Amino acid sequence: MLSVIIRTHNGENVLLDVLRPLVSAAAEGVVRDVVFLDVGSKDGTAQIADAAGATFIQAPKEKAGWTETALATAHRADWLMFLDQTTVLMPGWLDETISFLERQERVKTARGKLSAVFRPEHEPEIGSADVRRRALVLISNRLFSTARLSQGIMARRSDFHGGSAPAIDWQAKDPSIRLPNLLRLRSRTHLAQPLDPDQLIQAEARQQGMLSRATS
């Protein structure tokens, strides 16, 4: 059902938290493959991908081809899920995702075809700046059909074919995609909690090959 593309940049201490919710989805056949599109990591991000059974690719020198490279590598499903390296899917996401995808597969008219974005639930203490940022995310989702990778996005692969394919600035602080007919799902995402080096080693050892085992 889903090919997952995660934008990464020096994310070794958060990625295991992000990958964990995908394991049960892979075991159920919902997640078919996971790809890290890396924009210049100098830490152990590639080793995290290898340990988890994900595919690590470095963004090509030509910026215009980054999305095409990611889609060509994450090729096993007709639906795409885009995540940033700090985006953790919260409980309930899998059931709602399956329901959404099954409904969309029954849609025959272009008007009824939807993309989807999860609702953000961020960890920082709520202050005036955070309230304004949340409001901007909500307004962008609803009025401009703009979804952010930090929220988690689902879209048809066919939406990225042709000259009108949506653009993604993978190097932006919080990359976004403008998609037609964007649905805000009930399920939420939150920000990954960084692990210290000792926790990272222990977690990596426990989760060695977690995605590859689930999909085998």
Cross-strand bridge partners of residue 12: none
Q: What are phi and psi of 169, to 5 degrees?
A: -90, 90
- pLDDT tier at 128, thresholds 50, 70, 90: low
Average per-residue pLDDT for the chain: 86
Taking a C-beta distance cutoff of 8 angstroms, is the pair 47, 12 a contact? yes
Summarize pLDDT for 44-101 with one digit per residue, the tens. Answer: 999 999 988 999 999 887 777 899 999 999 999 999 999 999 999 999 999 999 999 9
What pLDDT, on a 0 to 100 scale, did the predictor assign at position 109?
A: 82
At the topology level, CATH places domain 2-215 in Spore Coat Polysaccharide Biosynthesis Protein SpsA; Chain A (3.90.550)
pTM, full prediction: 0.85
The residues spanned by each domain of the chain are 2-215
| Residue 43: pLDDT over 80 | yes
Enumerate residues 6+ apart whose C-beta is below 8 A from 186: 92, 96, 119
Percent over 90 (pLDDT), the chain: 60
108: region left, alpha or beta (phi > 0 left; psi from -120 to 50 alpha)? alpha
Statement: residue 204 has pLDDT above 60: no
Q: Within 13 Å, how many C-alpha atoms sit on residue 38's CB side?
A: 21
What pLDDT is recorded for position 123? 46
> Residue 210 — φ and ψ, nearest 5°?
-65, -40
The predicted model gives 165-191 an average pLDDT of: 91
Torsion sign over Cα 84, 86, 90, 94: positive
